[in-house]
Chain A
């Protein structure tokens, strides 16, 4: 199942389509319940960090964040920076921790932490109420939880669509 069954461009296209459709569907499904959906864009940032060179992963994550900004019709750069921040922390954590057990869990924790730290920095920079104490108490834990739950499945799908992580990079 982990071996891609089509040309790489087609698999990547399929991955992007699945990302967009699933992220929308999960948002629509969970938002009425007051539960933030798993951040599949962030998980994609982690997948990039596992598969490409650090700088490429960082740039790729930023581009992905820009796409998220465009999809959300918000100010450009907000999610881009946050996704890049999350990916940067994942890269640094992986470098420090090596290939130990619990790497997946650690990566998600680092990504969410990096993402929210960047959000907080931009909140301070923009002097807006983007991140509030309320959102830190109610949204962050749930967002972390749903993203943690979705991570194994999404990694499995990323392995299938983007191919397994090269040994040298892992």
Chain B
């Protein structure tokens, strides 16, 4: 018998054997499977670990990208939050000012420049006539008066602050103590107020705006009396040094009030 014929016969026999076994659904005893279970389990565990390693590596790359994206988003949100907080602070400032100083707030503005001169105390705001600002409009913060607008551009305005030598504000003493005076700037950071000699002014007294001059609403806090100068024999007015309530050097956001 030729070899390939023998091979064919052997295969045919094996095939018939398989046909019988598969037809009868002959299944191996579980004990045989159990014998090799540790080996197949080792393969399964190895495969699982490899798959987890690959998946973990890929996910880590994906997560790294996601972390970067979230960090960027977080940064954006932080900036937006910062802007919104600033806006809320400004609106709160306006609310406070309209409630305590004057109801006719025109705009809020930011200080974008200060006069570099050691003698002058002037601020530049980031809003101008396009935003409704006009000369002689009072500028305040919730703590007190800042000054008044003297020049207006389309998108910028200049404020002469209280401590500027060219500034003059009609003032009176708060708390019903009366008195009428004119506060002028005394660089670098004080005001000099001339009261009539009969006014009983003491250090610590609070000075607020009066209707004198017709520029500022009445009652806005200007400062506190720091020193009362001695009255000379021929003096008709009593001069006091006032420390302004608002530190012009640190003001960032201001509110502009409408003209009287």
Q: Taking beta carbons and an 8 Å cutoff, which residues of A are in contact with B?
A: 17, 20-29, 32, 54-55, 58-59, 62, 69-71, 73-78, 80-81, 84-85, 88, 91-92, 95, 118, 121-122, 125-126
Is A70 a contact of B21 with CB atoms below 8 Å?
no
In the bound complex, CA of A70 to CA of B10 (Å): 22
Over the window 75-111 of chain B, the binary record of Cβ atoms lying under 8 Å from chain A Cβ atoms (1 yes, 0 no) is 0000000000000000000000000000000000000
Over the window 117-142 of chain B, the binary record of Cβ atoms lying under 8 Å from chain A Cβ atoms (1 yes, 0 no) is 00000000000000000000000000
In the bound complex, CA of A27 to CA of B33 (Å): 17
In the bound complex, CA of A134 to CA of B195 (Å): 105
Is B39 a contact of A17 with CB atoms below 8 Å?
yes
A58 with B14, Cβ < 8 A, contacts A24-B43, A25-B46, A29-B47 known: yes
Is B47 a contact of A73 with CB atoms below 8 Å?
no
Contact of B22 among A17, A24, A126 (CB under 8 A): A126
In the bound complex, CA of A25 to CA of B41 (Å): 9
Contact of B10 among A25, A59, A78 (CB under 8 A): A59
In the bound complex, CA of A144 to CA of B90 (Å): 73
Is A28 a contact of B48 with CB atoms below 8 Å?
yes
Q: Which residues of B lie under 8 Å from residue A29 when comparing CB positions?
A: 47, 50-51
A24 with B40, Cβ < 8 A, contacts A55-B6, A76-B28, A95-B4 known: yes
Interface of A: prevailing SS: helix
Is A21 a contact of B4 with CB atoms below 8 Å?
no
In the bound complex, CA of A139 to CA of B13 (Å): 29
Interface residues of B in 19-34 (CB under 8 A from A): 19-23, 25-28, 30, 32-33
Q: Which residues of A lie under 8 Å from residue B229 when comparing CB positions?
A: none
Is B21 a contact of A77 with CB atoms below 8 Å?
yes
Interface residues of B in 208-242 (CB under 8 A from A): none
Contact of B26 among A75, A84, A92 (CB under 8 A): A75
Kindly state whether residue B17 has any CB partner on chain A within 8 Å: yes
A77 with B17, Cβ < 8 A, contacts A22-B43, A71-B36 known: yes
* 24 A-B pairs (CB sep. < 8 Å): A20-B40, A21-B39, A22-B43, A24-B39, A24-B46, A25-B50, A29-B50, A54-B3, A59-B14, A70-B32, A70-B33, A74-B27, A75-B21, A75-B26, A77-B18, A77-B22, A80-B14, A81-B17, A84-B11, A84-B14, A85-B11, A91-B7, A92-B7, A126-B22
A70 with B39, Cβ < 8 A, contacts A75-B21, A118-B15 known: no
Closest B residue to A80 by beta carbon equals B18
Q: Taking beta carbons and an 8 Å cutoff, which residues of B are in contact with A?
A: 3-4, 6-8, 10-11, 14-15, 17-23, 25-28, 30, 32-33, 36, 39-44, 46-48, 50-51
In the bound complex, CA of A122 to CA of B51 (Å): 34
Closest B residue to A91 by beta carbon equals B7
Is B44 a contact of A28 with CB atoms below 8 Å?
yes
Interface centre among B18, B21, B43, B44 (most CB of A within 10 A): B18
3 closest Cβ contacts across the A-B interface?
A: A24-B43, A28-B47, A77-B18
Contact of B14 among A26, A81, A95, A121 (CB under 8 A): A81
A21 with B42, Cβ < 8 A, contacts A71-B36, A91-B7, A118-B15 known: yes
Shortest CB–CB separation between residue A135 and chain B, in angstroms? 17
Closest A residue to B46 by beta carbon equals A25
In the bound complex, CA of A27 to CA of B44 (Å): 8
Is B50 a contact of A92 with CB atoms below 8 Å?
no
In the bound complex, CA of A54 to CA of B7 (Å): 7
Q: Which residues of A lie under 8 Å from residue B17 when comparing CB positions?
A: 77, 81
Q: Which residues of A lie under 8 Å from residue B40 when comparing CB positions?
A: 20-21, 24, 71
Q: Which residues of B lie under 8 Å from residue A80 when comparing CB positions?
A: 14, 18
